[in-house]
Amino acid sequence: MRGKEGFLAGARDIAPILLGVVPFAMVSGIAAVGAGLSMASAMGMSVFIFAGAAQLAAVQLIGIGAAPLVIISTALIINLRFVMYSASIAPHFQHLTQRWKCLYAYLLTDQAYAVSISRFSIDRHIDRGWYYFGASFVLWVVWQIFTLTGILLGSGVPKSWGLDFAVPLTFMILLVKALGDNATVVSALVGGIIAVAAKPLPYNLGLLVAALCGIGAGLFLEKSLEKKSAAENI
């Protein structure tokens, strides 16, 4: 499977997930306007940053007047997961030019990564570069269109639509697929528990604390299991 077929396969596989991305993007656009950003600034954030969860957290912090350092730190912590995604998926694109690698890095999302890495593990014949591009580019287009829709609608969307629920729902779908070993399960549990317990902290710092604790717990367990395995093999 090459070129056009790979692109279409990626676009087709990402399509079901877009049902959750559409309201998520609208929420991001509405939140940006609600935080006081101009249409140009809100759309610029969506295009140049292109990081849904980090965007949403950032605009919420902007809206409550958080310090710039808190806003930037929160966005960076939330996006740390992309370092792991990149390390995992990069070997599949070693043959590509630097220009393509930079484009793929920009287009990297939770959804595109999850769909692509799952397909790569079971299909050796697919054109991986074009498949990933199909999945990630289609998601990018949909995200920009519905972020703009949210910006234009502003606060005119009735709360009864319940669009806010799309944000956790989108990540819950991906989370279930990602819980493949003890370390990730522990990381998710610790992060979730700490997030709830630390919710009263100001400036959404509870999210930062939860992310760090979750990552730390997962790494600690993973290292412990590696040491145990090494000791048993001696």
Sequence ranges of the domains in the chain: 3-162, 179-234
Say if CB 147 and CB 26 are below 8 A apart: yes
Highest mean pLDDT (candidates 53-62, 76-85, 105-114, 174-183): 105-114
How many other C-beta atoms can be found within 10 angstroms of the C-beta atom of residue 95? 8
Highest mean pLDDT (candidates 14-18, 61-65, 204-208, 213-217): 14-18
* Residues 6 or more apart whose Cβ sits within 8 Å of residue 85: 108, 110, 113
Q: What is the rounded CA–CA span in Å between residue 115 and residue 182? A: 22
Give me the pLDDT at residue 233, please: 65
**Over the chain, what is the mean pLDDT?**
81
Q: What is the pLDDT of residues 63-94, one digit of tens each?
A: 878 788 888 888 888 788 788 888 889 999 98
The total number of residues shown for the chain amounts to 234
Q: Which residue has the higher pLDDT, 175 or 197?
A: 197
Q: What is the rounded CA–CA span in Å between residue 229 and residue 8? A: 43
* Cα Rg, the chain, nearest whole Å: 19
How many other C-beta atoms can be found within 10 angstroms of the C-beta atom of residue 56? 18
Q: What is the pLDDT of residues 115-160, one digit of tens each?
A: 999 888 887 888 899 999 999 999 999 999 999 998 888 756 555 5
Give me the pLDDT at residue 54, please: 83
Residue 108: helix, strand or coil by DSSP?
coil
Task: Residue 86: name the closest of 57, 55, 117 by CA.
Answer: 117
Question: Which amino acid, one-letter code, is at 44?
Answer: G
